[in-house]
């Protein structure tokens, strides 16, 4: 597998994506970083700031809206040269109504966290524009975070139909907690990545959680009380109790996942135990069903029903 020299990061104008771009630029072997952004003004502001901070003019902008597969396809169609690695970082809670269905038939939260990224990877592979590594921003929520009151997703059959019901939101109801939707969505994505690793053995597919990270925009669209807790109370108190860490730590997990070969293809790495911080471990040691090939393939098939 060739050394990683060019990287595309989705959601790169702020938070973890921007910090990952900054850290990667400090590695001599990295020659080009594509900032995948939805907003052009914010993209150019991030590019200018990153050039000033790193002293390197290696940043290019690719405009794409990860919640819109058509936007993603257009962005890939405009690419003129291969990319070694992609960091599938864009995500969050899917706007003010995460359960609202997009024109693709999936919920907003599923569209931005999973469907857009699946389309991006498939398009890059189809055009032979991806040479080395795919890293997906996973979450400890996919196997539950007891210390934060986030239950492990409950699957009855792990069938294609059940995963499709997560994608289109029919598994949930109006009273479902947005964090429940988020946990299920991140579980589907981790399984999809493992299936892709088996289907494309020449490409490395690593799911890496950035962990509980302060300074991100991911919780901006939560209901007011939850947003207040996570962003204004949690960011102050949770680090004191070892429940959250800074942007630099979360982004470094991405960089390590990309550049350190000890992180194996098809694996989902996140913090151990019931916390979203601390050393990362292979999550199959916590939840064995993550290693079930049939479940993985079912998740991938469900995603492609909407792609």
Topology (CATH) of 6-304 = Rossmann fold (3.40.50)
Starting at the earlier edge strand, list the strands of the sheet with 204-208: 59-63, 32-37, 6-10, 83-88, 130-137, 204-208, 267-271, 280-282
User: What pLDDT is stored for residue 86 in this prediction?
Assistant: 98
The answer to pTM > 0.85 is yes
User: How many CA atoms lie within 13 Å of 120's alpha carbon, on the beta-carbon side?
Assistant: 32
pLDDT by residue (tens digit) across 69-95? Answer: 999 999 999 999 999 999 999 998 887
Contacts of 75 (CB under 8 A, 6+ apart): 36, 62, 63, 64, 120
Instruction: pLDDT band for 221, please (50, 70, 90 cuts).
Output: low
Q: What is the pLDDT of residue 213?
A: 85
Please tell me the predicted confidence (pLDDT) of residue 183.
96
The stretch 190-214 carries a mean pLDDT of 96
Q: Is the pLDDT of residue 235 over 60?
A: no
Residue 215: pLDDT band with limits 50, 70, 90 = low
Predicted local distance difference test score (pLDDT) of residue 156: 96
| pLDDT score at 234 | 55
Q: How large is the average pLDDT for residues 177-199? A: 96
Beta bridge partners of 167: none
At residue 67's C-alpha, the angle toward residues 194 and 243, to 5°, is: 60
Among the residue ranges 1-15, 111-125, 189-203, the one predicted with the least confidence is 1-15
The dihedral sign for the CA sequence 136, 16, 120, 66: positive
Is residue 205's pLDDT more than 70?
yes
d(CA 129, CA 124): 5
Angle at the Cα of 145 from the Cα atoms of 144 and 151, rounded to 5 degrees: 50
Average pLDDT over residues 135-149: 91
Average pLDDT of the segment spanning 51-74: 97
pLDDT reported for residue 226: 55
Q: Which residue has the higher pLDDT, 255 or 95?
A: 255
Contact assessment for residue 102 and residue 112, using Cβ atoms and an 8 Å cutoff: no
* Model pLDDT, residue 273: 76
**Averaged pLDDT, 179-201:** 97
């Amino acid at each position: 597998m060739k050394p990683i020299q060019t990287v595309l990061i989705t959601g790169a104008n702020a938070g973890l994506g921007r910090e990952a771009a900054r850290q990667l630029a400090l590695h001599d072997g990295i020659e080009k970083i594509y900032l995948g952004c939805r907003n052009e003004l914010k993209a150019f502001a991030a590019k200018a700031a990153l050039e000033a901070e790193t002293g390197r003019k290696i940043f290019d902008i690719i405009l794409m809206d990860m919640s819109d597969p058509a936007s993603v396809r257009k962005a890939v169609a405009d690419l003129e040269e291969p990319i070694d690695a992609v960091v599938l970082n864009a995500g969050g809670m899917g706007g003010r109504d995460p359960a609202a269905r997009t024109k693709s038939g999936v919920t907003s939260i599923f569209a931005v966290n999973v469907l857009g990224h699946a389309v991006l990877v498939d398009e890059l592979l189809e055009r032979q524009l991806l040479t080395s590594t795919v890293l997906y921003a996973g979450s400890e929520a996919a196997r539950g975070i007891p210390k934060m009151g986030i239950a492990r997703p409950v699957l009855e059959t792990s069938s294609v139909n059940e995963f499709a019901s997560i994608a289109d939101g029919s598994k949930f109801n109006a009273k479902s907690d947005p964090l429940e939707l988020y946990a299920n969505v991140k579980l589907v994505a981790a399984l999809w990545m493992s299936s892709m690793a088996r289907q494309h053995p020449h490409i490395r597919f690593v799911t890496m959680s950035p962990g509980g990270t302060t300074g991100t925009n991911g919780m901006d669209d939560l209901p007011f009380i939850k947003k207040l807790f996570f962003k204004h109370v949690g960011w102050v108190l949770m680090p004191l109790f070892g429940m959250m860490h800074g942007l630099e730590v979360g982004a470094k997990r991405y960089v390590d996942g990309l550049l350190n070969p000890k992180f194996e293809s098809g694996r989902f790495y996140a913090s151990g135990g019931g916390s979203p911080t601390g050393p990362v471990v292979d999550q199959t040691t916590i939840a064995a069903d993550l290693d079930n090939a049939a479940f993985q393939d079912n998740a991938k098939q469900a995603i492609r029903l909407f792609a």
